[in-house]
């Protein structure tokens, strides 16, 4: 497969990741319905103090991602590895977190980075290509239910509040680690997607992996 076709397929994959329509593939089992109790969000277990309740400002989204796409035909192994790292700019939007949900208003950000692509033939590097990547996500509102599993872990039923299309598209459930230091709340979400697609009778195995770090700042009266 030519490098341009690989780039097209991988660029679409990374664009989908950046849009957060399917940020994480996880084996976490969907928890039972949550009882809405003041100060808790763990189906009635009051031992977990939900300290993230409040109004927050979107600060940034940082992502470090890798995509590896491989085909094997007889003794020929072709692999393309693509890397995309970025830290968002022009960030805006507010998130109101209750005991059971997150309401985003006007979430928007800009990404300017470089897609680094390397093509291998039988594990020997053939060529590489660096492609500028720049996009702006328009202000979007969304509603996301969630469930606190522990004091530093959270489960999203709709893929996470950073899903800019959360109010329009169904996405897979996801999990994240929490880090609350003072008035700064950080969500750390693993990125994992493993697919096999048959193209013209040849299986193409693609693994997308990485991490997304989302930061919020508490708004005080």
Reduced to 3 states, what is the DSSP secondary structure of residue 51? coil
pLDDT higher than 60, residue 35: no
pLDDT higher than 60, residue 36: no
Residues 73-89 have a mean pLDDT of: 94
Evaluate the CA torsion angle 205, 199, 132, 163 in order and state its sign: negative
Tokens (6 digits) for 118:
């390397």
User: What percent helix, strand, coil does the chain show, rounded to 5?
Assistant: 10, 60, 30
Q: Residue 159 — very low, low, confident or very high, per pLDDT cuts 50/70/90?
A: low
pTM of this structure: 0.73
**What is the H or E stretch that residue 209 is in?**
strand 202-218
pLDDT higher than 70, residue 138: yes
Domain segments of the chain as ranges: 3-218
**Model pLDDT, residue 158:** 57
């Amino acid at each position: 497969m030519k490098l341009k076709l690989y780039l097209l397929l991988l660029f679409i994959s990374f664009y989908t990741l950046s849009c957060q329509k399917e940020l994480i593939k996880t084996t976490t089992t969907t928890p039972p319905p949550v009882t809405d109790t003041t100060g808790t969000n763990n189906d009635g277990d009051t031992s977990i103090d939900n300290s993230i309740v409040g109004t927050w400002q979107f600060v940034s989204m940082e992502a470090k991602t890798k995509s590896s796409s491989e085909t094997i035909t007889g003794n020929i192994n072709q692999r393309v590895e693509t890397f995309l790292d970025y830290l968002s700019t022009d960030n805006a939007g507010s998130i109101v977190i209750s005991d059971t949900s997150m309401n985003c208003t006007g979430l928007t950000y800009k990404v300017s980075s470089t897609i680094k692509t390397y093509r291998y033939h039988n594990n020997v590097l053939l060529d590489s290509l660096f492609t500028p990547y720049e996009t702006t996500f328009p202000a979007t509102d969304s509603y996301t239910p969630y469930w606190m599993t522990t004091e530093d872990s959270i489960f999203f039923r709709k893929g996470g509040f950073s899903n800019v299309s959360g109010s329009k598209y169904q996405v897979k459930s996801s999990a994240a680690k929490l880090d609350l230091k003072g008035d700064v709340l950080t969500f750390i979400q693993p990125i994992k997607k493993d697919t096999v697609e048959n193209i013209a009778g040849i299986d193409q195995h693609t693994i997308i992996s990485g991490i997304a770090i989302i930061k919020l700042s508490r708004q005080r009266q």
